[in-house]
Amino acid sequence: MTDFFANKKTIVITALLLMIFAMTGAALVGLTFEQTVDDIKYNEKLTLLRKLNNIIPAQSYNNDLLLDTIIIPPSGLLATKANTLAYRARNDGSNIAVVFSSVAPSGYNGPINLLIGVHANGSLAGVRVVKHRETPGLGDAVSITHSDWILDFDEKSLSNPKPKQWKVKRDGGVFDQFTGATITPRAVVNAVHDALLYFKKNHNMLFSPSTTSTEKDEGKTQKS
């Protein structure tokens, strides 16, 4: 009987010790998270800012690019299905450029997510692929980390090249395709052209001071 109570006491003490260790561990994890969450958010902002500055040079604007934003509702031309943010670059109040998200839905292996920067005059500041699943060694050439192909969009506009030439060369346009991979560049070219159409239709909204917006022309846009 004595051994029974002794074993029971040992089990209770062990359970209490384990509970104390678990609670202490949870508290330490929570404390560590609280101490690092600000650093994590700061690093995320720096990463985003670097991406944006790859499209719009930091010396070209003097506002806070991460704070001067506007919400863009889902758009047919942008092939987005949820609200996205547009980042506006201004210099002493003058509109310089805007960067917003777009999707090329018809990539070879699925959607290709893009960041597209457009100058206030309607010419492209730059285009970057931020997410894709294209075939390594073929379609992944759309990414700046694999080739300079994406830089061909710099300074292009709806009138440069002419509308009928906004295609890959195999389709009679001016943009290069990749050896053995035409579907991927074709999808990106079409998406960038549609993004420029979106910019033209929504220029005033994109540069408005409001932080929310409604696409007044979206009903027409989706029929374009």
Condensed to tens digits (0 to 9), the pLDDT of residues 161-201 reads: 999 999 999 999 999 999 888 999 999 999 999 999 999 99
| Domain of 44, in residue numbers | 1-53
Check whether residue 73 and residue 22 sit in a common domain.
no
Count of structural domains, the chain: 2
Check whether residue 104 and residue 207 sit in a common domain.
yes
Check whether residue 11 and residue 88 sit in a common domain.
no
Check whether residue 67 and residue 47 sit in a common domain.
no
Asked if residue 211 has pLDDT above 70, the reply is no
Check whether residue 67 and residue 92 sit in a common domain.
yes
Q: What CA–CA distance (Å, rounded) separates 178 from 138?
A: 7
Check whether residue 70 and residue 46 sit in a common domain.
no
* pTM for the full predicted model: 0.76
Check whether residue 209 and residue 113 sit in a common domain.
yes
**Which 3 state secondary structure label does DSSP give 66?**
coil
- CA-CA-CA-CA dihedral for 50, 44, 133, 142, to nearest 10: 0
So what's the pLDDT on residue 220?
40
- Indicate the pLDDT class of residue 148, thresholds 50, 70 and 90: very high
Check whether residue 112 and residue 81 sit in a common domain.
yes
With CA atoms as reference, report the closest residue to 86 among 222, 213, 224, 181: 213
Query: How far, CA to CA in Å, does 120 sit from each of 40, 57, 92, 111, 179?
Result: 33, 14, 14, 27, 35
Query: How far, CA to CA in Å, does 109 sit from each of 8, 33, 131, 206?
Result: 61, 37, 12, 31
Distance of CA 174 to the CA centre of its chain: 26
Contact 181, 146 (CB under 8 A): no
Check whether residue 2 and residue 75 sit in a common domain.
no
